[in-house]
Chains A and B, each alone.
Chain A
Amino acid sequence: MGTESSNPLETLNPLNPLNLTATLALIIFGAGTVAGALGVALGLGGGIFLVPFLTLVLGFPLKSAAAISLATVIATSSAVTAQRAGNQLINLRVGMVLEAATTLGSLLGGITAQLVAESMLQRLFGIVAIGVAAVVLGRVNKRNVILDATVDPGRLGGRFYEEESRGIVSYRVKRLPLALFASFIAGNVSSLLGIGGGIIKVPVLNSWCGMPLRAAAATSALMIGVTATGGAIIYYGRGDLQPLLAAPAVLGVQVGSLAGARLAYGASVKWLKVLMAVLLVIVGVLMFLRSMQ
């Protein structure tokens, strides 16, 4: 990286692109690729992996890492949703309803992030990651599909072609107030920690609100873009989001997403859930250790 500075950002004056070494760009690009592949494969934004890497490995302040990560979350959401539009996995109506809650949450989180201490954010990140891992592991076998295409899914429900059962399946959406509440919290945490918020919404939508995992993930992928934008605008305005650092991360995540989509297509849902839980526990513990330093 060319210098021994304890904070790599000090060497990177945003007004002077000459300071970005090719090595650092390549490292960020690589981290983005891995995070993007894992994120898409698991139906998450990838931020849950990118933020720990940027803070724990590269030593970025959490706010900068969160801001960069939010940019990648937006890119992932836009790319993945553009690709999926029309295949009926995305539940547009549920997405639009819940977005009202996620964006209000992200506005509040973006403001809060400017006011609380770094170690507080790290501890929150750890708690969120481990908590979600527990929820996911506890409900590994839930599918939520009605194997009958003629069942009326209701105004917010949906139908799609499911790989596992090789047929059209239907589902109904239950407990909308709970989904709204979870979305508000997800939006809040999204801005605070630089993640999409899918780690909160997807398990709730899947476990308690009746949505099959793939539909919940596709709908969440739609929502995280606009949610992350709310937070990213605040970080950008406050000078924490540097285009020069966001660019390699975004490009890396884009490349990784393409690979991740193939990975998700082949793997079983159950296996993905277990992998997600294990990774989240590791990330949570590391973040907690960091906050103690």
Chain B
Amino acid sequence: MNRERSATQRLEGMIGEVLRFGTITSSTMFAIGLVMSIVRYQPAVAQLLLVAGLVILLATPVARVVVSVIEYMRERDWTFVMLTLIVLLALAGSVVAAYF
């Protein structure tokens, strides 16, 4: 019980870090790309920054789930390994539905 709680807190901390990194990176790219678009400076670079910002934004929650899968595997908590893998599979399904 206590071990389970401390493991959960550890995971929560890791998830927080992943989400913080993704948020700051994508928002920074969005801000720079947007300002560049508005002042019409280097449109190709601006577009690249905006697309990269969006891709990082979308990748952040996926990375959070990947971290969770790994952490639950380390804990040998197979129920939650399975649940988080279902989430990853559903996201993979979205990629398939988007492009095929």
A interface residues (Cβ-Cβ under 8 A, vs B) = 15-18, 20, 22, 25, 71, 74-75, 77-79, 81-82, 85-86, 90, 92-93, 96-97, 99-100, 103-104, 106-107, 110-111, 225-226, 228-238, 241, 243-244, 246-248, 250-251, 254
Interface class of chain B by DSSP: helix
Is A226 in contact with B37, judged by CB distance below 8 angstroms?
Answer: no
A74 touching B46 in the complex, CB below 8 Å, given contacts A86-B13, A241-B54? no
Closest 4 CB pairs of A and B: A237-B98, A85-B16, A103-B90, A243-B50
A92 and B87 within 8 A (CB): no
**Known contacts A74-B61, A250-B30; A20/B13 CB under 8 A:** no
In the bound assembly, the distance between CA atoms of A78 and B21 in angstroms comes to 9
| CB-contacts of B34-88 with A (<8 A) | 34, 36-38, 40, 43, 46-47, 50-51, 53-54, 57-58, 60-62, 64-65, 68, 80, 83-84, 86-87
Chain B residue numbers with a CB within 8 Å of A82 are 16-17, 19-20, 23
Within 8 A of A (CB), among B1-33: 8-9, 11-13, 15-17, 19-20, 22-23, 26-27, 30-31, 33
Residue in A77, A230, A250 whose CB lies within 8 Å of B91: A230
* Choice from A18, A71, A100, A232 contacting B40 with Cβ under 8 Å: A18
Interface size class of B (residues with CB under 8 A): 35 or more
The answer to whether B34 touches A236, judged by C-beta atoms less than 8 angstroms apart, is no
- CB pair B27–A103 under 8 Å, yes or no, is no
Q: Which A residues are in CB contact (< 8 Å) with B60?
A: 74, 78, 225
Please tell me if the beta carbons of A251 and B13 are within 8 angstroms of each other in the complex: no
Interface contact tally, CB-CB below 8 A: 164
Q: Is the CB of A234 within 8 A of B34?
A: no
Residue of B nearest to A87 (CB): B12
Contact in complex: B12, A17 (CB < 8 Å): no
* Complex contacts, B97 vs chain A, CB 8 Å: 107, 110-111, 234, 237
Residues of B within 8 A of A106 (CB): 90, 94
Closest to B86 in A: A100
B11 cross-chain contacts in A, Cβ below 8 A? 92
Partner of A234, one of B19, B57, B94: B94
Known: A85-B16, A96-B84. A230 touches B40 (CB 8 A): no
A251 to B11, CA, bound (A): 27
Bound form: Cα–Cα A90–B99 in Å: 34
